[in-house]
Structure 1
Amino acid sequence: MNIGMIGTGNMGSILIEAFIDSMAVPPSRLTITNRTISKAVRVKDRYPDIQVATTATEVAQVADLIFICVKPLEIYPLLQELKPVLSSDKCIVSITSPISVQQLESEVDAQVARIIPSITNRALAGVSLVTLGESCSERTSQFLDTLFNQISTPVHIEDNVTRVASDIVSCGPAFFSYLLRRFINAAVKETQITEEQAVTLASGMIMGMGKLLEKEIFTLQSLQEKVCVKGGVTGEGIKVLEAELGEVFEHLYHSTHEKYYEDIELIGEQFKK
């Protein structure tokens, strides 16, 4: 299949790079565009065989699978622009959580899917969240699963867990990067360790922990229990976390869901037109 990418910002570029680096998609099968066309040209500078189109419509004309990697409120007008060149043998893939596959299907004569990627996919790792529309053919479904298996572990989800799943998979790397930075900054502030040393040690720790979980040597619970020896130093640290964290993560989910429902309401007004 020919792949189109409308939007070459953070996630659009990550998908392009992951598809190419995993050899899932040859650069020559990719046609890309961006509202600021120079950003798409910069991607082509790295991968000369990529085709750059000047408009989204041109991308949709030549692509079988069309990734829409723009802001949520830009999707409805973009679909109106693309309508004349879409057909039932093409598939629109949205990467944004507030727009459902049902809303996409209500506007276009094409197959649709929603696939929410993660920055971890750039390392050909992590999870991608897949929701297929009823219009999605078996052939397209299989192709999407094969494609995303090259860069991630695709997990099929229903609408009712879209936001929380996205919080964990897509937002999670930013949340835990922030926590790790705070962990490192406190070490530098409170002890004589240098920032460079702390970053090296913390980075190695987090990657090693990931390997333990990936290889199923430990679960999250058993890992904690293995390190947290009764009466030891780790246990004292856990006590601080239990006392200080409180309901911080509950508040986090409340906040992300509140923004999510605000976006859904605004997008819903567009799709009622």
Structure 2
Amino acid sequence: MNIGLIGTGNMGRILIEAFIESKAVQPANMIVTNRTIEKAYDIQAQHPSVKVAQNAKEVVQHSNIIFLCVKPLDIHPLLIQLKNDLQFAQCIVSITSPISVEQLESVVNCQVARIIPSITNRALAGVSLFTYGESCSRDYQQVLYELFSAISHPVLIDHSITRIASDIVSCGPAFLSFLLQKFVSAAVSETNISKEKAIELASQMVIGMGKLLEKEIFTLPTLQEKVCVKGGVTGEGIKVLEAELGNLFEHVFQQTHAKYYEDIEKVGQQFNI
């Protein structure tokens, strides 16, 4: 089965490299293109068996599954451009959250799915969020599930929780990275520890914490409970976090949802939905 990717930006490239590293897709079965074609050739330079198409139509002509790794407002014009070339035996997969499978199906007559990946998939870890269109056959559902099982933990979601699920899975690494950098900066400013040493310690702490959760040795609540000994230093730190965090994450999600609904409105105007 041939896998096509239209768009080789950050997430498109992550998928390409994860599929190849996991051996879920052989490089020779992959065809890619990008608006700036040099970016596609950069991938081919690292993986010579990957084929480079000069345009999106060429990708469609040689692929069974086509991943649309472009910006939300570029999806509709791309579908209009490709609709006469797509066959029902093919499946397109959008990786962007504001566009629903129903909107995709309103334009094209092929099978469709939406799969929202995460940067963590590059480490063959983390979650990918699945929503299948009504047109998506059991065979394609199985193929896509197996494909992403090689690089992630696939989770089927309802459209109603798309944004919050994406905030946790896709935006979460950036949010937590920001907080950890603040954590490190405070350690450096308040003590004699070097930035390099603080980053090393914080990074290894996160890796270790992830392994505790992965092995189900602790859950998030029990992990906090085990570390936070009554009357100890950790408890004093928790008191500060409880007092000062307030509604921080509520505000984060309010902001991401506001942007999401803005994008949905713009996309809806394109699809006339």
> How would you bin the TM-score normalised by the shorter chain?
over 0.9
**2:219 matched to which residue of 1?**
219
Deviations 1:205-243 (CA, angstroms, capped at 9, x unpaired): 000000111111011111101000000000000000001
Structure 1: distance between partners of 2:196 and 2:253: 32
1:17 aligns with 2:24: no
Structure 2: distance between partners of 1:81 and 1:46: 30
Q: Which amino acid aligns with 2:202?
A: A
**1:108 matched to which residue of 2?**
108
| TM-score normalised by the chain length of structure 2 | 0.99
1:230 aligns with 2:225: no
- The percent of aligned pairs where both chains have the same amino acid is 66
Q: 1:84: Cα distance to partner?
A: 1.3
**2:92 matched to which residue of 1?**
92
Q: Which amino acid aligns with 2:227?
A: V
**2:209 matched to which residue of 1?**
209
Deviations 1:250-273 (CA, angstroms, capped at 9, x unpaired): 000000000000000000000018
**2:32 matched to which residue of 1?**
32
Structure 2: distance between partners of 1:155 and 1:215: 19
**1:170 matched to which residue of 2?**
170
**1:248 matched to which residue of 2?**
248
Structure 1: distance between partners of 2:253 and 2:86: 37
Aligned length: 273
Q: Which amino acid aligns with 1:143?
A: V
| TM-score normalised by the chain length of structure 1 | 0.99
What's the C-alpha RMSD, in Å, of the aligned pairs? Answer: 0.6
Gaps of 5+ in 1: none
Structure 2: distance between partners of 1:251 and 1:272: 31
Map 1:189-208 → 2, pairs under 5 A: 189-208=189-208
Q: Which amino acid aligns with 1:90?
A: Q
Counterpart secondary structure, 1:217: coil
Q: 1:129: Cα distance to partner?
A: 0.2
Structure 2: distance between partners of 1:106 and 1:240: 51
Structure 1: distance between partners of 2:239 and 2:74: 46
Q: 1:125: Cα distance to partner?
A: 0.2
Q: Which amino acid aligns with 1:111?
A: Q
Runs of 4+ in 1 over 3 A off after TM superposition: none
Q: Which amino acid aligns with 1:212?
A: L
Q: 1:94: Cα distance to partner?
A: 0.1
Structure 2: distance between partners of 1:245 and 1:108: 46
Structure 2: distance between partners of 1:106 and 1:145: 24
